[in-house]
Amino acid sequence: MLPSIGGGAFDVPRKRRQSCLPVITLLVVLLSASGDALAHAVAEGDKGYIQEIYGVHLMPFMYLGAKHMVTGYDHLLFLLGVVFFLYRMQHIAIYVSLFAIGHSTTMLLGVYFDIGINSYLIDAVIGLSVVYKALDNLGAYQRWFGFQPNTKWATLIFGFFHGLGLSTKIIEYEIAPNGLLLNLLAFNVGVEIGQLLALSAILIVMGFWRRTDGFLRHAYTANVAMMSAGFMLVGYQLTGLMVS
């Protein structure tokens, strides 16, 4: 279970909630990236490659999958929120596995059975997943509604949406049906490799940060910044929907 922080970790004087400049700087950099980077888009060069190839190409698709995860800022923000207050590796493994199961399931099935959803809508939901996790870390649901949502189920369900976001984009690129299943499996393996690499980097930074005296003070600001980033992602996608 995630630690209950609604009446614990953040019960510090308001004046001690100092800004967490490294985290805020990171969020600003992420949100100042290109529009394609904020969604589940594939780079133009990769898009051309996907459209032109025919047959089984395992290693290239593994590379594309890993690249997508490492540069998928909405994925990384959500993963950061998930592991923010997880200290034991067994708990981290459970939550990350649930996210991977959800993400892999809808990505594979969505592309294989050609199930697409409006990319702006699905990416707006993914932005909301970041908002949800930040509010969860702030203990908002306990204070507002008097109960704690099941965090494992939430992680799995939002994993489904993250996978749908990617499958929707891949469908647009019309991958050749020859070798499709094996290429998708290779892509998914790459996604999981990328996720492990990104998660390792996040955990290393979090490990150093947690050992500092100001972690609990800065954690409040970091999650507020994360929530704001999620709302910005939602606003960006809904704006794109209205003007498209």
Q: Say what the pLDDT of residue 7 is.
A: 39
Q: Say what the pLDDT of residue 114 is.
A: 87
Position 33 confidence tier, pLDDT thresholds 50, 70, 90: very low
- SS3 letters for the chain? CCCCCCCCCCCCCHHHCCCCHHHHHHHHHHHCCCHHHHCCCCCHHHHHHHHHCCCCCHHHHHHHHHHHHHCCHHHHHHHHHHHCCCCCHHHHHHHHHHHHHHHHHHHHHHHHCCCCCCHHHHHHHHHHHHHHHHHHHCCHHHHHHCCCCCHHHHHHHHHHHHHHHHHHHHHHCCCCCCCHHHHHHHHHHHHHHHHHHHHHHHHHHHHHHHCCCCHHHHHHHHHHHHHHHHHHHHHHHHHHHHHC
Q: Say what the pLDDT of residue 182 is.
A: 92
Summarize pLDDT for 37-90 with one digit per residue, the tens: 444 555 666 666 777 777 888 898 899 889 888 888 888 999 999 999 999 999
Question: If 0-12 CB within 10 Å is exposed, 13-18 middle and 19+ buried, where does residue 74 land?
Answer: buried
Whether the Cβ atoms of residue 20 and residue 220 lie closer than 8 Å to each other = no
The token pair that represents 169 in the structure block: 């984009």
Report how far residue 156's alpha carbon sits from residue 146's, in angstroms, rounded to the nearest whole number: 23
Is this prediction's pTM over 0.75? Answer: yes
Summarize pLDDT for 97-127 with one digit per residue, the tens: 999 999 999 999 998 898 878 989 999 999 9
Closest by CA position to 199, among listed 107, 80, 104: 80
Q: Say what the pLDDT of residue 232 is.
A: 94
Radius of gyration of the chain from its Cα atoms, rounded to whole angstroms: 18
